[in-house]
């Protein structure tokens, strides 16, 4: 179960994990868990193949909804 899945909030289509990018931490909480070797936090970008909706999410954020 290593693959992340996310449904498009617009059309409900399964979104594709498009990219992971390194971003600078915005909060102390993020800074606390940032990857030391990378000097930042990873943000995952998802794209919907149905409508083109793009969504990004910080790695480590656990949304159980």
For Zn ion, the binding residues in 6-65 under the rule CB under 5 A are 8, 10-11, 13, 48, 50-51, 53
Q: How far is the CB of 50 from Zn ion (least distance, A)?
A: 4
Q: How far is the CB of 53 from Zn ion (least distance, A)?
A: 5
Tokens read off for 40: 């930042």
Residue whose tokens read 């606390």: 32
Residues 6+ apart with CB under 8 A from 11: 48, 50, 51, 53
Q: How far is the CB of 49 from Zn ion (least distance, A)?
A: 8
Pair 34, 25: CB distance under 8 Å: yes
| Site residues, Zn ion (CB under 5 A) | 8, 10-11, 13, 48, 50-51, 53
């Amino acid at each position: 179960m290593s693959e992340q899945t996310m449904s498009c909030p617009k059309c409900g289509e399964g979104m594709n994990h498009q990219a992971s990018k390194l971003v600078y931490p915005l909060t102390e909480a993020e800074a606390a868990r940032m990857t030391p070797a990378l000097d930042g936090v990873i943000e995952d970008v998802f794209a919907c193949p149905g409508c083109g909706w793009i969504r990004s999410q910080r790695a480590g954020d656990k949304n159980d909804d």
